[in-house]
Amino acid sequence: MDTSAGPSLFPLHRCKTLHLVRHAQGIHNVDGDKNYKAYMSPEYFDAHITALGWQQVDNLHKHVHECGLAKRIDLVITSPLLRTLQTAVGVFGGDGYTDRMDVVPLMVANAGNSGRAAISSLNCPPIVAVELCREHLGVHPCDKRRNISDYQFLFPAVDFSLIESDEDTWWKADVRETTEEVAARGQKFLNWLWTRKEKEIAIVTHSGFLFHTLSALGNDCHPLVKKEICKHFANCELRSMVIVDRSMIGFDPSTTNYPGKIPSGLDLPSDVVDEKAD
């Protein structure tokens, strides 16, 4: 690897801006931080975020609005677990919900025993749940999801149409996904992003998924850049990155390029004249 290489240049329409977010503190994180075996506890099934986690959500919500990011995001993608759904709607959703016949709330009041008011879907980007960006699958009850029909009641304006099964068919009680399998699923997710027309996307997901997915990337970068890319995320941390379509996966044309010569005319470049003279 040549770490002394200069800057790289890519066409803008072959790039997407990703704003990666790890969910806010969940109830499983509190005990799990002290004792890793706590992640095996059935009481943390599909863990919801804590009161401190909601404070983290409120602070990130304030940040994305103050820095102007909230207005730039075309799409929010979230893992279909309770803690990521709560984080996604809390950070990128609208203000407090007022009962209206023409507007469906992003989150109903007290969803997941949160004690929180309902959240409006007004003036916010669409939020779509995607199974591919779930946490490391298997064995840990906190990473098993509920039925999608349960979530649809709690988060009425979130789009769950891309999830094929109501029940969780991915999580296995006795089989833990390998780190290589998580990384491969992460690559599949990144490839899927190129099927989307949106250019600036927020992704609310999990520590393990982010770490193993990002650790497989950046091998052509300086070691310090590689370290910056794949270091572990804190709860409710947001990190913005650009992904480049090196393999021509996407098909989106440029929205800013202009072909020139309108109207058409003679335009022989001077350097071509020099080459001909030589």
| pLDDT 10s digits, 165-214 | 999 999 999 999 999 999 999 999 999 999 899 999 999 999 999 999 99
Beta carbons of 22 and 233 less than 8 angstroms apart = yes
Q: Which residues pair with 204 in a beta bridge?
A: 21, 78
pTM of the model: 0.89
- Of 72, 61, 21, 67, the C-alpha closest to 241 is 21
The DSSP element (H or E) to which 210 belongs, if any, is helix 207-215
C-alpha dist (Å) from residue 211 to 65, 118, 208: 27, 32, 5
Beta carbons of 10 and 46 less than 8 angstroms apart = no
pLDDT digits (tens, 9 = 90+) for 87-99: 999 999 987 766 6
- Choice among 19, 23, 48, 212 that is catalytic: 23
End-to-end CA distance of the chain: 38
Residues 32-50: what's their mean pLDDT?
A: 87
User: Is 61 in the active site?
Assistant: no
pLDDT of residue 275: 59
pLDDT of residue 3: 47
Say how far apart CA 107 and CA 91 lie, in whole Å. Answer: 12
Who wins on pLDDT, 264 or 63?
63
Q: What is the number of other CB atoms lying within 10 angstroms of the CB of residue 88? A: 28
**Residue 146, both tokens:** 């509920």
Residue 37 one-letter amino acid: K
- Choice among 135, 136, 206, 212 that is catalytic: 135
Confidence of residue 248 (pLDDT cuts 50, 70, 90): low
Say how far apart CA 10 and CA 256 lie, in whole Å. Answer: 14
User: Is 23 in the active site?
Assistant: yes
What single DSSP character describes residue 78?
E
Who wins on pLDDT, 41 or 276?
41
- Give how far the C-alpha of residue 166 lies from the chain's centroid of Cα atoms, to the nearest Å: 22
**Would you state the CATH architecture of domain 19-244?**
3-Layer(aba) Sandwich (3.40)
